[in-house]
């Protein structure tokens, strides 16, 4: 199964829920009026597209309908598709252009962070890049053990310390090893907690400082793993993490298990943070780069 087919299959729950609601609504109107726009706005909100984003979509839709002289409610679907593609903006692939490049993966426990790192390691290795993983979530012994299982599956090496060790020390050792071995990408796990933003921020700043000291001028991605099944809660998490550190992109996990895939639009529009990677299954090869047009086509096409 190709990437697009996997994406279509993964978005089936979102498509069945969101598009069926929109099509039922449009089919119930014989003309385009303010009542239609108001009901569409409500429908979009129920599809886990945030209030602000839903209002913005409908405002753009009003302008398009007026400008193009559209009369048939069923033609609104095509306009919606164009508006959402535009809102999602240009695709922003992962920046792993330097040697080494460093990717910090952050996120709450349960978001699929460790699994995501394993999938990303596998994906990068398949692109011909050498990968080293730093087990920086030293808060839980289980996190280190789980990550070790995934790195074995991905066929990449891991640098780990004992539970309770300083995460920055793990990253330091990983970068030292990466330089000695000529590794292309260092993937760093981090503690999955956000009960104290100050502690999290201090920890991430320390890791970032180590990265820049040990790999000067390297590309650094800070990716937030978000569980798409949590809908608007994922957006709240993104806001909190973004206050604690400068997130460069989102990895949206478990898109295949939710009808709430519309949060992709909210994250991009409300927070201005690009979705860079998505997972659409539980297998190690079920991660793919986020491509806005493919996402919208999979959502809208029959």
Q: What tens digit of pLDDT does each residue of 168-217 get?
A: 999 999 999 999 999 999 999 988 766 566 777 788 888 888 988 888 88
Percent of the chain with pLDDT over 70: 96
Three-state DSSP at 131 gives strand
Kind and range of the H or E run holding 6: helix 3-10
pTM above 0.75, yes or no: yes
**What local confidence, expressed as pLDDT, does residue 19 receive?**
85
Percent of the chain with pLDDT over 90: 51
Burial class (CB in 10 A: 0-12, 13-18, 19+), 79: middle
Comparing CA positions, the residue from 207, 204, 183, 184 lying closest to residue 194 is 204
- Compute the average pLDDT of residues 124-146: 92
Give the helix ranges, DSSP H, for 28-166.
34-46, 51-68, 76-88, 113-126, 141-154
> What is the C-alpha to C-alpha distance for residues 256 and 278, in angstroms, rounded to an integer?
10
How far does CA 229 lie from the centroid of its chain? 12
**Placement of tokens 């992962």 in the chain:** 94
DSSP 228: G
More confident residue, 241 or 38: 38
Q: Which residues of 232-265 are buried (b: 16+ CB within 10 A; e: fewer)?
A: eebbebbeebbebbebbbbbbbbbbbbbbbbbbb
> What is the C-alpha to C-alpha distance for residues 300 and 284, in angstroms, rounded to an integer?
27
> What is the C-alpha to C-alpha distance for residues 137 and 122, in angstroms, rounded to an integer?
20
**What local confidence, expressed as pLDDT, does residue 119 receive?**
95
More confident residue, 73 or 240: 73
More confident residue, 45 or 194: 45
Taking the CB of residue 183, how many other CB atoms lie within 10 A of it?
Answer: 20
Q: Which of 69-83, 197-211, 274-288 has the lowest mean pLDDT?
A: 197-211
* Angle, CA of 131, 133 and 134, to the nearest 5°: 145
**What local confidence, expressed as pLDDT, does residue 110 receive?**
78
Give the mean pLDDT of the chain: 88
User: Is the pLDDT score of 302 beyond 60?
Assistant: no
**What local confidence, expressed as pLDDT, does residue 141 receive?**
74
Decide: 249 and 274 in contact? Cβ < 8 Å: yes
Residues in the chain: 302
- Compute the average pLDDT of residues 39-65: 92
Three-state DSSP at 60 gives helix
Three-state DSSP at 67 gives helix
More confident residue, 179 or 257: 179
């Amino acid at each position: 199964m190709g990437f697009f087919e996997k994406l279509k299959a993964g978005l089936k729950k979102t498509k069945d829920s969101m598009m069926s609601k929109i099509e039922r609504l449009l089919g119930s109107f014989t003309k385009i009026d303010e009542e239609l726009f108001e009901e569409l706005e409500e429908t979009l909100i129920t599809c886990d597209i945030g209030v602000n984003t839903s209002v913005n979509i409908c405002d753009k839709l009003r302008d398009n309908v007026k400008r193009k002289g559209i009369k048939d409610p069923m033609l609104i679907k095509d306009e919606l598709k164009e508006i959402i593609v535009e809102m999602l903006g240009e695709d922003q692939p992962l920046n792993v252009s330097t040697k080494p490049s460093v990717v910090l993966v952050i996120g709450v426990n349960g978001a699929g962070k460790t699994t995501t790192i394993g999938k990303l390691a596998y994906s990068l290795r398949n692109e011909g890049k050498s990968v080293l993983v730093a087990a920086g979530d030293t808060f839980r012994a289980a996190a280190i053990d789980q990550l070790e299982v995934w790195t074995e599956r991905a066929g990449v090496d891991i640098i780990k310390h004992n539970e309770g060790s300083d995460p920055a020390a793990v990253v330091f050792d990983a970068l030292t090893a990466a330089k000695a071995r000529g590794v292309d990408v260092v993937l760093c796990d981090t503690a999955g907690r956000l009960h104290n933003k100050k502690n999290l921020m201090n920890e991430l700043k320390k890791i970032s400082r180590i990265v820049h000291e040990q790999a000067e001028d390297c590309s650094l991605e800070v990716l937030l793993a978000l569980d798409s099944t949590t809908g608007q809660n994922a957006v709240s998490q993104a806001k909190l993490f973004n206050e604690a550190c400068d997130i460069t992109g989102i990895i949206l996990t478990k898109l295949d298990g939710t009808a709430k895939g519309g949060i992709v639009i909210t994250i991009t529009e409300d927070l201005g943070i690009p979705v860079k990677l998505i997972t659409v299954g539980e297998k190690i090869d079920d991660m793919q780069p986020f491509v806005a047009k493919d996402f919208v086509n999979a959502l809208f096409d029959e």
